[in-house]
Amino acid sequence: MFSIALRIILYDKVRTLITLIGVVFAVALIFAQIGIYLGLMETASLIIDRTPGDIWITSKNNRNFDFSMPFPELKINRVLTAEGVKNAEKLIVTWGVIKQPQGGTEQVEIVGYNPDTGIGGPWEMKAGDVRDVKSGNYIIVDASSMKRLGMLEKGDHREIMSRRLKVVGISQSVKSFTTAPIVFTSYKTAQHIGGYVGEGETVFIIANVFDGYPVKDVVERLREALPGLDVYSKDEFSKKTRLYWTIETGVGFSFLITILISFFIGMLIVGQMIYNSTVEYLKEFGTLKAIGAANIDIYKIIFSEALINAILGYVISLMLTLASVKVYKTTEMVFTINTEVAALVFLITLVMCVFSAFISVRKIRRIDPALVFRG
């Protein structure tokens, strides 16, 4: 029956073209929405995911990476003495305003890390070294921030919250979901910028666990030892941050709505085209029933048509999406397309097209057998 469906599709070239355009647009839109959403979520938890640390300790009821309350840094001693903890490091994430040389300001997200270990600092340097922020008013800015902060180079100076800082390095691939440029500095300097985090305070403690100790058990132990703080495994905190931006900001909902709309538009287009084709071939399908085809044989033709449209439409959309990844990169947007996304969208496309074929099933079931004898 597949070959008959294929022949019908090849015979009705104009209808096939219109159907394919519909499927391609719907699927490409689904690809784009999922790719952009995942790209945004990737940036939302990027520093958590790229920082070598098994456990993240934050203030109580903290909801994400970007907006966290400070707490006493002495708590690190309780962390270090907990069974299974190999090492622990403090990290500050705070906000500041940077003055632009031509006037005006930009809000920046400041990340203060220990330059000796580099934990929480940039992981890919274009110029300079992660240790260069040590012992002074130094910063590392990310290459992706240049559009917002101007073309900075090593040796340039900028003022953040009335403190003059020297650019000692340029990092790469560090972006924030908030779209604010990320500026790295030393832990000590971050404590004194802006006044949000005070002397003797930190925003996060990142701990690593000895080999052989299950992270889950150490997390439980730290939760008992630090009742005033929240303790998460790296994965938990990454998910919590992504979930915050997905649910609390409505970003996830708006992406979901667009994906659903694309799905239904695609389903309507394919459904209408297959239905039209079914109506046009009603007499021929009636003839097939008369010459011995069971309803199931004709359903197979209809569903094969849907399947062929799905596969062709998907392949074209995938090629267009892969080609457009470069375009996304030029706009500094993170677009995530991987095997899992491709498989998910393929599944969505199949469901979309196969469900659309159900519109025609009722028509087939009710074909009047006497139809075949009408001239």
**Chain residues in the site for another protein (CB under 8 A):** 4, 7-8, 10-12, 281, 283-284, 286-294, 297, 369-370, 372-375
What are the residues facing 112 on neighbouring strands?
92, 185
| Closest to another protein by CB, 11 or 210 | 11
> What contacts 24+ positions apart, CB below 8 Å, involve 116-122?
117/89, 119/51, 119/52, 119/53, 119/89, 119/91, 119/206, 120/47, 120/51, 120/53, 120/89, 120/91, 120/204, 120/206, 121/184, 122/169, 122/171, 122/172, 122/174, 122/184
| Closest to another protein by CB, 65 or 281 | 281
Shortest distance, CB of residue 21 to another protein, whole angstroms? Answer: 21
| Closest to another protein by CB, 326 or 374 | 374
Shortest distance, CB of residue 270 to another protein, whole angstroms? Answer: 19
| Closest to another protein by CB, 255 or 281 | 281
> What contacts 24+ positions apart, CB below 8 Å, involve 241-250?
241/44, 241/45, 241/48, 241/64, 241/65, 241/66, 242/41, 242/44, 242/45, 244/44, 244/63, 244/64, 245/40, 245/41, 245/44, 245/64, 245/177, 246/41, 248/63
> Residue 159 in 3-state DSSP?
strand
Shortest distance, CB of residue 7 to another protein, whole angstroms? Answer: 4
Shortest distance, CB of residue 18 to another protein, whole angstroms? Answer: 17
Tokens of 104: 């005006």
Shortest distance, CB of residue 349 to another protein, whole angstroms? Answer: 24
By DSSP bridging, strand 138-142 and strand 163-171 are: parallel
Shortest distance, CB of residue 337 to another protein, whole angstroms? Answer: 36
| Closest to another protein by CB, 57 or 301 | 301
| Closest to another protein by CB, 245 or 285 | 285
Shortest distance, CB of residue 282 to another protein, whole angstroms? Answer: 11
* End-to-end Cα, the chain, rounded Å: 26
| Closest to another protein by CB, 129 or 284 | 284
| Closest to another protein by CB, 149 or 306 | 306
By DSSP bridging, strand 182-186 and strand 105-113 are: parallel
Residue with the two structure tokens 């659309």: 356
Shortest distance, CB of residue 291 to another protein, whole angstroms? Answer: 5
**Alpha-carbon gap, residue 73 to 204, rounded angstroms:** 9
- Cα 278 to Cα 123, 183, 295, 350, 367: the distances in Å are 58, 61, 13, 19, 11
